[in-house]
Structure 1
Amino acid sequence: MKKHLLLLALIVSFSFILISFAKANNASKLVASSKDSATTDIVAVINEVSLSDKLFNDLHLQNAGLSKATVEYAVKGYEKLVDSGLVNNDQFLTIVDLSQPSRNKRLYILDMKNDKLVWNTYVAHGKNSGVDMAKSFSNQFNSNKSSLGFYVTKSTYKGKHGLSLRLGGLERGFNDNAEARGVVVHGASYVNAGRVNSSYMGRSQGCPALPQNEYAQVINIIKGGSVMFIYNPSEDYLQSSALLN
């Protein structure tokens, strides 16, 4: 009887040891898993910041007139759109920085594959968005205002302004009426270096119009599904954009 009791006690003790070991092992796995997950999240954040920082620093974009915040916003939206599969041409990212005066060269084309600033030129804003500074924006028909947000470039056509590039607005409530409004990239005689010393650059009906001697080259670079970001530090846009939040 004593032998049976001793054997039973040994079995119970061994069982408790096994259970304790299993719990400790599972806890270790959970901690390791949490650490791995946290490490992955940290790496993802660093990579995102690093891409915008790399572009900003390597391409000396501050010297070209861009702020670090503008580049960070542009890269954040660009990466989301690429990941979503909406971008057919992920080589180029175009930034139209409407926080700058109209007389500045405020259109930038970044080559995301080769780490280059491939184009920097003048671009018009809508005549009802402001005079030298664009301050008011709209997605409404007949507003003659620029629309903020992310676009994807579409097909080209020959219109009254010559070669033109259709734009598809990707942000509901901000620019999703762009194509129906006829907002396109085109050339315009009222956008040129000769107007830099005037009080403001010529304005459009809402299109990002370009100098006549450059527009065709720009269109041929960015056509076919690349990303365009029209930016202004509007609180309404920055707080509500699904691509930036």
Structure 2
Amino acid sequence: MPELRILPVGYLRLTGLGLTLLAGCQLRAEEGKGPSLPAKTVVAASAAVPAAVAAPDSLALTPVLPVAGVSGPLQQAIRRLHADLGPAAAELRPEVLAQACVGYLTLYRAARIERAGLLAVADMDLPNTTPRLWVLDLKKRKVLHRSLVAHGRGSGKRRARRFSNARKSACTSLGFYRTAGTYEGIHGYSRRLNGLDPGQNSNAYDRYVVLHAASYAAAKYVQQHGQLGYSRGCPALPPEQFKAIIGTVQTGSLLLISGPGLQSRWLDGAAAARQFARQGWN
């Protein structure tokens, strides 16, 4: 008989053979309609889930390299934007904001996103005890929302250190995302995400990586446990903020999930500079 271990899971579903473990953020919406039980700790065979070797959790941030090819006028515009966003964006690193702005301009020029002037950015290199998601109005130079956001269980502890596009990895995926439609799923009101970076987040839609609420993504959870809990790869949001955030990043908006190792064809500084010279943030 295999050794038994206690494993936390997001939820359970009854089947003819008993209880079946289901992956929280990776469950398809249509599968959530069957009978379910509340989240709890269950006993599972250790042979079924290999134990991961945890590395020491460092809080030292990883340097972000400048985006190549960004013109002087665009660099100045991004610096002015960061300054105008004020104290609410003080912890949004300028280099990460530059990544997000370049991607926004490049993707808008390529007609891969439709919502002009709206940009959401999550810096997953920051510890999950820090509100590390910002939703920005580029035209009004205003922070619309700032919140905590959880990363995937496979990505690390307080900081996300490992990223994967693979199914069942339980990892956060880096890259640019286009927001899609909303639905009522196992986590309630949720918004779908389309990954725009092949090899980095292109499986997000099939993995059901979505914006949704989670009690483990709240400040109260940090007060009780010293850090946020983990998703199965979704950028999970605090229950008190998720509706407002999901309502703001309507279909066709851009979300960047940044972190160590981010690579993207959309980080094209020259194309972004041409778009900015033509239309600004519009």
State TM-score, norm by structure 1. 0.77
* 2:120 aligned residue: 94
| Structure 2 letter corresponding to 1:46 | G
Paired with 1:136 and 1:109, the residues of 2 have a C-alpha distance of: 24
SS across alignment from 1:173? coil
Larger mean CA deviation between 45-54 and 130-139 belongs to 45-54
C-alpha separation in 1, matches of 2:121 and 2:180: 16
Secondary structure at the counterpart of residue 108 of structure 1: strand
* Structure richer in helix, relative to its length: 1
Contact 2:120 2:135 in 1 (8 A): yes
| Number of the residue aligned with 1:5 | none
- Shift of residue 60, structure 1, vs aligned partner: 2.9
Task: Look up the match of 1:243.
Answer: 266
Of 211, 216, 239 in structure 2, the residue corresponding to residue 190 of structure 1 is: 216
Equivalents in 2 of 1:76, 1:63: separation in Å?
18
Q: CA deviation at 1:63?
A: 5.6
Q: CA deviation at 1:195?
A: 2.7
The match for 2:142 among 116, 133, 139 is: 116
Aligned to 1:218: 245
- CA distance in structure 2 between the partners assigned to 1:158 and 1:88 by the alignment: 24
Q: Distance in 1 between matches of 2:245 and 2:165?
A: 24
Give structure 2 stretches of 5+ with no counterpart: 1-69, 269-282
Separation of aligned partners in 1, 2:149 and 2:189: 16
Aligned residue identity for 2:266: L
**Shift in alpha-carbon separation, 1:82–1:61, aligned structure 2, 3 A:** farther
* Paired residues, number: 198
Task: Specify whether residues 61 and 51 from structure 1 end up closer, same or farther in structure 2 by C-alpha distance, changes over 3 A only.
Answer: farther
For 1:229, which of 245, 256, 259 is the aligned residue? Answer: 256
Q: Secondary structure at the match of 1:120?
A: strand
Residue pair 2:161, 2:260 contacting (<8 A) in 1 also: no
Secondary structure at the aligned position of 2:126 is classed as: coil
Name 1:53's counterpart in structure 2.
79
Out of 87, 91, 95, the position equivalent to 1:65 is 91
Amino acid at match of 2:72: I
**Percent identical residues:** 37
State the Cα distance separating 1:155 from its structure 2 match.
0.4
Q: 1:157 to 1:62 in 2, by over 3 A?
A: closer
Aligned CA distance change for structure 1 residues 170 and 163 (closer, same or farther; 3 Å): same
Give the direction of change, closer, same or farther, for the CA distance of 1:50–1:200 in structure 2 (3 Å limit): same
State the 1:62 CA deviation: 8.1
Matched, 1:157 2:183: yes
CA separation in 1, counterparts of 2:220 and 2:88?
24
Say which SS state the counterpart of residue 210 (structure 1) adopts: coil
TM-score, structure 2 length as denominator? 0.67
Distance 1:46 1:141 in 2: 41
| Cα distance in 1 for residues equivalent to 2:88 and 2:126 | 13
